[in-house]
Structure 1
C-alpha cells in the first residue's frame, strides 16, 4: 500500500518526535509530522487528510499524549479508518482504548525504535526508494524562512464556519522562528505550579519533586547509558518561540549527591545553545566538590571542555550550595559560579557550538542513577 507514515504525539514530546521522524526518513520512508499539536485545538481538515492518506499510523505514548484531546482525535480517526497502528511507549501511561491488544515497542530509554520496527513500517507502506532518505513533511503554525506550502481548509465549528490554515514545512529543524519576548521570569521552584500557560517545563530522564527549598531532580539513568540518555533534565521553553541571541539565566543549586562516593559529590548543569533535537549544546557544569566546567557537545559527542575549581564552602565530603549565572550570546556562554563563603570563578566558552537556543535545561548530569540536585531561585531575562 502506497502512503506515508503519520506520527501522532504530544507537543511535550516534540524533541523525540522530530528525532523519530528523521530516523524513519533515513530508513527511506516518507513521514508526515504535525508540529501544530495543541490541546483543545480544532481538528483541521489537513490533519484528517494526512491520516486518511497514511499507510501506517505511529503514535508516541506518554502520559501527556494519553491526556491530549488532539492525539485522541487522531487515534480515533485512524482506528475508524482501520489504519495499521504501531504504538511506541516512550513513558508508561494509560493506553487509549483503541490501542488495546496492539503490541507496542518499548522505547522508554529514549532510544529510537528497532530495525524490526522500521522494517514493519516498510512492509506496510511502500517507500519510493528504501536506500534514499526522503524529506520529512512537517506542519507548523507560523511561516518559516524555508520553503512553505500553504494549505487552506474550512473548519466546521459549533456556531459556524471558520477558515483554517496549516503550513507544510520540509525543514528538519522544528524550532519556531518567532523571537521570544518575555518579561523577566522568576521561579523559586522551577517547573512547579507554573502559572503561565505559555511557559513549559519538561522533565526528561528524571523524577521531579517540588518543595519549599526548590525543585529536586533525581536521575533515572546512570552515565553508562549511551550519550544523551544519562542526563536528568528540566527543560524550560515558551510555546511557539525561540530564545533571543542574548539572555541570562541565574539559579541556585544545592544538595548535590551521588549514590557512589568519589563522583565529585554529584554535578549539576545548565544546557544552553541547544538544538531542538537535543543533540548539540553547551553544558555549564558545577559539582558538589567545587569543580566546574563548560563542556561542548556536538551530535552528542564531547568535543572539548574547560575545567576550573573553587572550594565547595563546606567540609570535605559534603556538597556545597552554589549560585550560577549563565550569560549567553550568539557566539559564547559565560558561566559565573559562587559559593556561600564568597569564593567565585568564571569560565567563558568561544566560539559557541550553536548560535541559537531552542530550550534551556536545568540538569542533574553526573553520574549514577539516583543522583540528586535541588534547583531554586531560577531567573531568566533578555540581555543586550
Structure 2
C-alpha cells in the first residue's frame, strides 16, 4: 500500500493513547504526523498549517478534553475549509460538537478499541481510495495503554450472572421440550416456522447492500451459526421485540439511538444494553453498569 499522509488532531491529555495509535497506523502502511513531531523553536501555527495542507486525511480523536480544546477546533475548521476528509474516532464518552455530529464517527467506546481500530483502518482505506488493499487487520494490531482506556468502566457486574444462568436453563428446557414433542403436527409447525425465516433470509439477501443502521427494521439471529434461533423487530415508537422462531415474544427493548452501522437497544428492567452491529454482523450485550460488550448472537439476515 502506497504511504498516505494522516494528520492526527487530539488533546495533549491523550498523548499516550495517541502515540500507541500512531504506531499501529504506521504499521498498517500510513505515514502519520502529529504535533509531538514539532521541533523546538519552530513556529507552531505555521507548522500545523503546513502539515494540514500536506495531509491526505485527518483523524480526529474525540475525548472529553479534545472537544473543549480551541486548538483542536481550529485544526478541524481549517481542515474542513481545505476540503480534507475528517475521520473522527470517539475514545471515551463526550459531547460531540454540533459541527461534527453530522459526520459518521467510529465509536471505540461501543465497538472496543481493537475492533474500532480495524474499522478506522478500513474507513481510511476507503476514504483514500485504497479499497483494493483489502487485507484484514491482524488481531492485536492496536493495544492502547490500559490507563488511557476511559471509554467504559472495566469492573465486572454481578448482575449479569443470573441472566447467564437463566439463559443456560432456558436452552436445556428448550432441548427437553423438542425431544418430548414427537407429534407430527408440532414438528411440522416448527419446521414451517424455520422455513419461513429462511425464506425471509433468502428474500433479504438480494437487498442486503441497501440495508444499514438508519433503515434497519428486523434482524434474524442464530446461536449455532446455522439455523435461525429468533429475531429482533422494530414494532414502532422506538420499541423493539425479541421473538423466537415460533414468533413467541421474549423481551421488549427501547431504541436509544442509531447510526449507519449500529442500532442501540436498552432493557432497563434487566439492566441490559444491546447493540446491533451491522459492521461485524453481530448482536452485542453489556449491562447498564458499563460491562464490556460481548457477542451475544450472530446476525444471518436483515430487513
- The TM-score range, normalised by the shorter chain, is 0.3 to 0.5
In proportion to residue count, which structure has more helix?
A: 2
Query: 1 or 2 for the larger relative contact order (CA 8 Å, sep ≥6)?
Result: 1
In proportion to residue count, which structure has more strand?
A: 1
- TM-score normalized by the length of structure 1: 0.32
